Amino acid sequence: MAAPKKIGVVGAGTMGAGIAQKTAQSGLDVVLMDLKDEFVERGLGAIRKMLQKGVERGIFREGQPDQILGRIQGTTTHADLAGCDLIVEAVFEDLDIKRGLFAELEKHVQGDCVLGTNTSSFKVAAVAEGAARPERIVGLHYFFHPAQNRLLEVIPGPQTSAATLERSWAFAEATGKTAIHSADSPGFVVNRFFVPWLNEATRLLEEGVANIPTIDETAKRVFGIGMGPFLLMNVTGVPIAYQARGTRAPR
């Protein structure tokens, strides 16, 4: 099955803008939507800034950022997503908001459009509950920063169709992602590691074992990673980390 050619991203925050950037870098057309023009412009500005840094580091040639940005259409209108083959929601981690968004999208998109949720803490089955066509809903869980981090969790829900899953994998491959399969279980794969890691970091701070810079630097050196737990929570959002802490409990 051919990979989707036109992609929608709903939510122009850090994650949504990064997903849009990576998708456009891969040569696909993107529609980036948010509730207000100012949110869309802020997302496009973040992409522009990231691309310019890429030029300075020799990752992109002069002129490439304009080409990439030229593939991204900003909008505040659901109807502009009508021609998309696949849409990824990257909105606030609120189950009612995600369900409401998919209900609205189903009024506008074509019948075979894949609807992906970037949720990190809800089961795909829960997000798809109440949808008219739950078979086209799938988990597409990106990691910070989506334009740089190659990892992508692909999570089929209990009603996700084989065609939806196949198109999701084709999309992952087309955008250069290292995709891994996860069952629709609490925390998926990665958060089963990261949530205890974040919890222990906050406990170390709470118990006065060490301060934040020490904990972050120790974690970076010991685990060989580029970002400590507190910096990670800051860039991805403390509310998201707080919400994700419950993913290890059955839902």
Q: Which residue numbers are catalytic?
A: 141
Does the N-terminal peptide bond of residue 141 adopt cis geometry, omega within 30 degrees of 0? no
Residue 187, token pair as written in the block: 């925390």
Residue 38 structure tokens: 């100012």
Beta strands in 48-146 (DSSP E): 72-75, 86-89, 114-117, 137-142
Paired tokens of 43: 């997302």
Q: Which residues contact 86 (CB under 8 A, 6 or more apart)?
A: 4, 7, 8, 113, 114, 115, 116, 167, 168, 171
Return the SS3 of 50. Answer: helix
Q: Which of 71, 131, 73 is nearest to 99 (CA)?
A: 131
Phi, psi angles (nearest 5°) of residue 77: -115, 125
Strand partners, 139: 117, 155
